[in-house]
Structure 1
Amino acid sequence: MITTIIAQQMFDGKNIIKNQAISFDEQKVLAFDSVKGAKEIKVPGLLTAGFIDVQVNGGGGYLFNHDPNLMALNAMVLAHSRFGSTGLLPTLITSGIETITSAANVIASAIKQQVAGIVGVHFEGPHISVPNKGIHSSEYIRPLTESEMDIYCRDDLGVKIVTLAPENVTAAQIKRLTEHKVKVCLGHSNASFAVTQAALAAGAVGFTHLFNAMSALTSREPNMVGAALLDEHSWCGLILDGHHVHPATAKLATRAKKIGKMMLVTDSMSTIGSSQETLEFDGHKIQLANGKLTSQTGQLAGSALDMITAVNNARRMLDVSLEEALRMASQYPADFLGLNTSTPQLAINANADFTLLNTTNNSDLHVSQTWIGGKQIY
């Protein structure tokens, strides 16, 4: 079935266009015009490409670490679609080999079955630094062995990200991962500037939640944060909830980083799209209060951030335009993942993944409808 939406406004990735028609089937965008025989819908608000979140620990009451199954993946997609996300990389926090294997197997199944919204998988750890582990369990932190390498190098997992600490992984291992189409991100690390640069030279292409759980920029040692901001070729994920990074620090970093290389991520836990206010993870009792998730020790424990809130925060905290905030949630993650030929641009033959935004009384945007693969799921 072909559907034509006539949007009050549409953002195509470059410009906001008024009263624009877009026609699509159950997979792709077909035309920027009405198509004969199509079901025609007029909608108020701003239609834009769906958001892509490269770091999603959970949603809808499910945590991927605890529930590496298709039911959990579907619940996560549905939960995040309420906030404009149409593409997720379910993220597995530092775990034992059995959990990593289970997670990989269910992702492979989701990719094979073309489960809506599942783009690939993000393995955050276990090859990280103990001093900067955050809430990751030191019990599972370990060197990268052939057992894990075999999993990461599988070709049935969609887009693959591995976050690691370069001081604990060799340059040869990073190169091998990249040769098997793994996006190597650096994070949960105490690495020096020189070690970080060596990892970038070996093929690392990103930094996981910039500033958080990584060696800080100082006057005499740029460390990982300095290397991340200076490098023109890598991408940085930014948790813009006002808790993980001070707004002024985030603003400064965005101005320093090359345009197109700073992307919004949520690092969200199971509370998103659910009534859940407490959860347990690896012995940590985690409490949601005032939009912030913390363990009993006071540590940040993932986030309660959703993508549309991140977009609103980008406009407010970073002082960027609406168009740039939307690109930070859609185009830039797609560029990072190598998906820019299919999504999230609103273009002919692009995936029919988009979201409809409307404005609240305080000028913030909220999501009113979301389509994935041409099907309205919210």
Structure 2
Amino acid sequence: MGDCSSSDVLTIAAPQIFDGIAMRGPGAIRISKGRIESIAFGTSEPRASIQLPRDAILAPGFIDIQVNGGGGVLLNDEPTEAGVRRIVAAHRKAGTTGCLPTLITDRSEIIERLAAAAEACLKIPGVLGFHLEGPALNRSRKGIHPEAEIRVPNGRDLAAIKRFGNRGRSIVTLAPECVPASMIDALIGAGLRIAAGHSDSTAADIGRAVDRGVSGVTHLFNAMSQLNAREPGLVGAALGDDRLFAGIICDGIHVDPLSLRVAFRCKGRDRLMLVTDAMPSAGTNDQKFMLQGRQITLRDNRLTGPDGTLAGAHLTMIEAVRNAVALLDISLVDALIMASRTSAAFLGLESELGRISPGYRADLVAFTPDFEVVGTWIGGVGSMDEASEASRRG
């Protein structure tokens, strides 16, 4: 499997290496104790532990900060260690080596169940923290979230939510106009990152929230106040404020390609992050699943509820990277930065993840020019498909 235990040394040779800054290669990287020890370009390494296929690209592993489900599992239905393992495994096959399992708006007891399991879940390779999307959303921008459960968090909710503050690098998405400023202060003080989303806020609302420490925007353009002539809304604030990171769903369904290109021109690769907003269908052939009592149907790669509302995405990170190159008309380098380095920076992990450089964690993905993932490594522990195993050298 190309594994590297805490005492082993692993060398991976690749015809091309994207080191987080530029496409280089050929080269070889040496991994020791889960971290990159050294990297050498311009030379072959015939004795490498793993020789990647001749057209493969080795890059920093993808980081997805919004993963509702995958592998047939919705986190809300299985807020347990077992449920998280299945979700993470499904997305790892598509190149995701770091993710935030995401809980959408739900009852207090569901938040508490995930909080109770969170510490154990953080031991699962690839779990960097959690994303609580709700319950403090604006009902007018609810999307597929259950309106009956949208609320200003009560004392019970806040106690459970704050527990995620020291559980990896966790995020809360909320509508800033729907909660008191003191609540934002309390959540940030507990160690959580705050993203604005499912919000009908004005640009002035967002400016005040950013001044208080709000640093992200959840699925830009979707479920939020739009950019208008005399009120820029959350979209305008996100595009115009360089302090804000913004996730974006690049599936060609949630956001028009022209809007994607506008967002890239305004935010650039260092503030715009690729996310999947993936649902249980990701990594499966399932055409239907249940979401909080409603049937969600997959048709033409579009997930919708009974009333036609978009219900998350049928998307993986390798597909998001491929789509970004095609729909945004950007380079593969730019797309890879948006899929890893930028998300790492948003999470405060820019000195650990998002680059292939000495001292960084050995979280890596290898894929072909046709965007087929042939291997992933998390802390030097690898998972490669059968075709790639044929290229391995012992």
Q: Establish whether TM, by shorter chain, passes 0.5.
A: yes
Aligned position for 1:136: 145
Counterpart Cα distance in 2 of 1:377 and 1:117: 13
Query: Which of 112, 117, 126 is the equivalent residue of 1:117?
Result: 126
Counterpart check, 1:271 vs 2:277: no
Counterpart Cα distance in 2 of 1:258 and 1:9: 24
Q: Return the offset for 1:151.
A: 2.4
Counterpart Cα distance in 2 of 1:312 and 1:203: 33
Q: Does the CA contact (< 8 Å) of 2:176 and 2:201 recur in 1?
A: yes
Moved more, 25-34 or 264-273: 25-34
Counterpart Cα distance in 1 of 2:32 and 2:70: 28
| Uncovered stretches (5+) of structure 2, i.e. residues with no partner | 1-7, 385-394
Query: Which of 214, 225, 231 is the equivalent residue of 1:221?
Result: 231
Shift in alpha-carbon separation, 1:322–1:288, aligned structure 2, 3 A: same
Aligned position for 1:338: 348
Aligned position for 2:360: 350
Counterpart Cα distance in 1 of 2:144 and 2:323: 25
Query: Which of 309, 334, 338 is the equivalent residue of 1:328?
Result: 338
Q: Does the CA contact (< 8 Å) of 1:78 and 1:377 recur in 2?
A: no
| Uncovered stretches (5+) of structure 1, i.e. residues with no partner | none
Q: Does the CA contact (< 8 Å) of 2:132 and 2:171 recur in 1?
A: yes
SS in 1 for 2:20: coil
- Matching residue's letter, 2:24: I
Query: Which of 141, 160, 181 is the equivalent residue of 2:170?
Result: 160
- Matching residue's letter, 1:135: I
- Matching residue's letter, 1:83: A
Aligned position for 1:208: 218
Counterpart Cα distance in 2 of 1:179 and 1:228: 23
Aligned residue pairs, count: 372
- Matching residue's letter, 1:374: G
Aligned position for 1:374: 380
Q: Does the CA contact (< 8 Å) of 2:166 and 2:191 recur in 1?
A: no
Aligned position for 1:47: 58
Counterpart check, 1:195 vs 2:205: yes
Counterpart Cα distance in 2 of 1:296 and 1:322: 37
Aligned position for 1:297: 307
Q: Return the offset for 1:258.
A: 4.6
Counterpart Cα distance in 1 of 2:210 and 2:199: 14
Moved more, 231-240 or 149-158: 149-158
Deviations along 1:253-298, whole A, 9 cap, x unmatched?
A: 2111254100100000011111211001122210111111111111
- Matching residue's letter, 1:32: I
Aligned position for 1:25: 32
Aligned position for 1:179: 189
- Matching residue's letter, 2:366: L
Query: Which of 101, 109, 113 is the equivalent residue of 1:98?
Result: 109
Q: Return the offset for 1:192.
A: 1.4
SS in 1 for 2:309: coil
Query: Which of 230, 235, 256 is the equivalent residue of 2:266?
Result: 256
Q: Return the offset for 1:346.
A: 0.7
Counterpart check, 1:76 vs 2:82: no
- Matching residue's letter, 1:7: A
Q: Does the CA contact (< 8 Å) of 1:232 and 1:258 recur in 2?
A: no
Counterpart Cα distance in 2 of 1:259 and 1:93: 27
Deviations along 1:211-251, whole A, 9 cap, x unmatched?
A: 10001111111111111111111100000101100000111
Q: Return the offset for 1:48.
A: 0.2
- Matching residue's letter, 1:312: R
Q: Does the CA contact (< 8 Å) of 1:26 and 1:352 recur in 2?
A: no
Query: Which of 8, 12, 16 is the equivalent residue of 1:9?
Result: 16
- Matching residue's letter, 1:274: T
Counterpart Cα distance in 2 of 1:255 and 1:145: 40
Counterpart Cα distance in 2 of 1:223 and 1:156: 32
Counterpart Cα distance in 2 of 1:326 and 1:128: 31
Counterpart Cα distance in 2 of 1:17 and 1:253: 28
Shift in alpha-carbon separation, 1:42–1:93, aligned structure 2, 3 A: closer
Moved more, 146-155 or 263-272: 146-155
Counterpart Cα distance in 1 of 2:257 and 2:116: 39
Counterpart Cα distance in 1 of 2:236 and 2:335: 23
Counterpart Cα distance in 2 of 1:283 and 1:76: 20
Q: Does the CA contact (< 8 Å) of 1:64 and 1:90 recur in 2?
A: yes
Counterpart Cα distance in 2 of 1:101 and 1:235: 28
Counterpart Cα distance in 2 of 1:54 and 1:178: 18
Counterpart Cα distance in 1 of 2:116 and 2:32: 30
Counterpart Cα distance in 2 of 1:258 and 1:20: 29
Counterpart Cα distance in 2 of 1:17 and 1:135: 43
Q: Return the offset for 1:18.
A: 1.6
Identity of aligned residues (%): 39
Aligned position for 2:389: none
Q: Does the CA contact (< 8 Å) of 2:21 and 2:355 recur in 1?
A: no
Q: Return the offset for 1:42.
A: 4.4
Counterpart Cα distance in 1 of 2:106 and 2:290: 15
Counterpart Cα distance in 2 of 1:115 and 1:211: 32
- Matching residue's letter, 1:160: S
Q: Return the offset for 1:343.
A: 0.8
- Alignment RMSD, CA only? 1.7
